[in-house]
Structure 1
Amino acid sequence: MTLRSVDLRKEPVEAVLDRVERMLGVRLDRETVVRKRRSVGARTDRETWVRIERRGLDRIGVQGGDGTASAEALRGIAKPAWLAGVAWRDEAEPVIWRADETGLLPGAPVGSAVVAKDPGLAEEWWASLNASLEALAAQCTNRIATPDTETLTQELVTATIHSVFPGIDTAVTDWRPAHADLNWANVTAPVFCVFDWEDWGMAPRGLDAANLWAASLAVPPLADRVRTERRNDLASRDGKLMMLFVAAKVLGPYADPDDPRLALARKTAEQMVQELQAG
C-alpha cells in the first residue's frame, strides 16, 4: 500500500481529535488547536497539552515512534514533563498515529521554525539553552536521531553534504544525543524550554547548534550569536560537518531563490569547506 503525502494543516482531523479524547480521557480545547504539517496539538481540560503525530510505518524504524515518552528519562534539560501516551495503527493506510500528553509550556514558541527578526532573548535564556544542550550531550541512549523522520546515518550525512559540496571527507567521529529538530518553533521564551522530542537520538556533535544556526540565517546577528554560544560544538570538525549538512539543505536543488538565508549560508559553507580541506 502506497503512503499518501499528507499535510495535516489541510486534512480533516476531527475524527482523530475525537479518538484521542476517548483514549486519553481528556477534552481538547478546539480553540487552541495548532496544526503543523505532520502534527496537531491542543490544550486539554486538565491544563495539559496533547500533541498528535502521523508517521508512516516506514519511518518508525527500529526505535519505534515513542520519542516524546522516552525523552522523559533525560535529566537536566528544560522541557515539558511527559504524562501519558497512546498510539494506534491507521485502519486505511500504513500509518501510525501517536498522541502524547505533556505539561504546558512555560511560554510561547519563539517564532516560526525560521525567524525573520531578532527575538531579543535575555542572557538567562541563552544560559538555559547552553545548560540544556550540555546536559543532553552527556546522556546515554541507543536511539538514533531521525531529523525530518529520516534515520541519521553516516550514509545520510555523506549523501546530503556531497549533493552540494562533493569531495569533502564526511567521516563523523563524535556521535552524541541530540534533539534533532532544534529550531525557533520548538523553543519557548522568555523562559527557555525545548519541546517536540519525537526525533531525538544519537547524532553527530553539533547537529542541534547547526540547526538553530540555519534557522537564524535571515538575521545575521542572531546566527552569529548562535555560533558564539555554541562555539565549542561548531568549531569542532564534526560541528563544521553539521554546518555543511544543514547548509546543503538550504542551498540544495530545492532551494528557494528568494530565501533570505542563501547568501550567509553559502558564505559560511565556503569557509567551512576551506577549513575542513585544510585539516
Structure 2
Amino acid sequence: MTLSVSTGQAVDLRVQPVDEVLDRVQRSLQVGLLPDTMVRKRRSVGARTDRDTWVRIERRLLDKISDQGWNGTESAARLKGIAQPEWHGCVVWAAPDGPVMWRADETELLPGAPVGNAILSEAPELPDDWWGALNTSLDALAAQSTRRVATPDTETVTQALVTESVRGVFSGDFDTTIEQWVPAHADLNWANMTAPAFSLFDWEDWGNAPLGLDSASLWASSLAVPALADRVWHERRSDFESRDGKVMTLFACSKILGPYAHPEDPRLEPARRIAEQVIKELQAG
C-alpha cells in the first residue's frame, strides 16, 4: 500500500495504510518491526522489534503540538523513582504534504501485558505489591518538578479548561480554582499500565496538572467495576480528599457525562451520583 496518511485532516491509523511510515521508521532507527506484534490505535502504531525493543509511532497535527514540543517519552526518561520502560532513542519528521508531524520512540520492552483496555468492564487480579508500585510511582512523579504542562487528550490543561469542562456539565455555587499543580502522567488508564509487574508507559502527554488528575482519571476508567473504582479511591485517598482532587473528580466525570456521553455507558449513573456528592462537599467548604 502506498496511500499517504500525511494530510492535515483527522485520520484513524487503525484503518489507514501506514507502510510508508513503517518503512521510514525502520530505516531511520535501523531496526526491523515485527508485523505480527503490531498494535494499531487511532493516533499511534506500535510494534516489537528484532532487537527486543518496542517502537511507538504517533501522528499529530501541528496545532496539537504546543510550544513545549511533544517529546514526552524522551523527557520522562529523566524522572526518578518511577517504574517505566527505559527510553533508547527517537526519530521525528514533518509530513511533506500537510500540517502534520510523525514521531517514533524506541523503548525497552514492557515487563508484562497492559492491564486491559482504557476502560475496564471487569476487575483485574492485581496483587497488593502492584498497588504499592502504582502509589510509589505516582507519589514520586508528583514530588518532582518540570516546566512541561500536561496535555490530556492532546489539549493543554489550564485553569480555564478545567472551569469550562466542569461548568459545561455541572451547575451550582462552588469554586473550581485549582490550588496545587504537580507533575502528572495525564493519560492514566488501564491500557497504559502493565501487570503483574507494574510499569507505566505512554508518557506523551505528561506535565504539570492539577493535583489529583491522574487518580481521578484512573478512577473514572474504573467506574463500570464498582469494587475496582473503590480500590482506586482507597489507594489514592489523599488525592480524592483534597480540594483539588474533588475538582478533578468533577473534571473526570464531565468527560463521561458531557456532550459525547454514550447512553449505554455503565459509568453514567455512578458518575452522576459521585458528582452530586462531590459538589455538596465543595459547597460545604
- TM-score bracket, shorter-length normalisation: over 0.9
1:206 to 208, 212, 219: 212
> 1:105 corresponds to which letter in structure 2?
L
**Residue in 2 that maps onto 1:197:** 203
Secondary structure of 1:101's aligned partner: strand
**Residue in 2 that maps onto 1:142:** 147
**Residue in 2 that maps onto 1:159:** 164
Give deviations 1:117-152, integer Å, cap 9, x for gaps. 000210010000000000000111000000000000
Structure 2: unaligned runs, 5 residues or longer: 1-6
Aligned equivalents of 1:66, 1:147: Cα separation in 2: 14
Aligned sequence identity (%): 64
Aligned equivalents of 2:15, 2:211: Cα separation in 1: 36
**Residue in 2 that maps onto 1:235:** 241
Alignment of 1:61-140 (within 5 A): 61-140=66-145
Structure 1: unaligned runs, 5 residues or longer: none
Quick check: 1:13 aligned with 2:13? no
Give deviations 1:81-100, integer Å, cap 9, x for gaps. 00001100001110110000
When normalised by structure 2's length, the TM-score is: 0.96
Give the superposition deviation at 1:3: 2.9
**Residue in 2 that maps onto 1:254:** 260
Aligned equivalents of 1:29, 1:254: Cα separation in 2: 36
Secondary structure of 1:164's aligned partner: coil
Quick check: 1:42 aligned with 2:47? yes
Aligned equivalents of 2:131, 2:61: Cα separation in 1: 35
Give deviations 1:153-205, integer Å, cap 9, x for gaps. 11100110011013431100100000000000000000100000000000000
> 2:177 corresponds to which letter in structure 1?
A
Give the superposition deviation at 1:10: 1.2
Quick check: 1:174 aligned with 2:172? no
Aligned equivalents of 1:91, 1:193: Cα separation in 2: 36
Aligned equivalents of 2:100, 2:280: Cα separation in 1: 43
Aligned equivalents of 1:15, 1:66: Cα separation in 2: 22
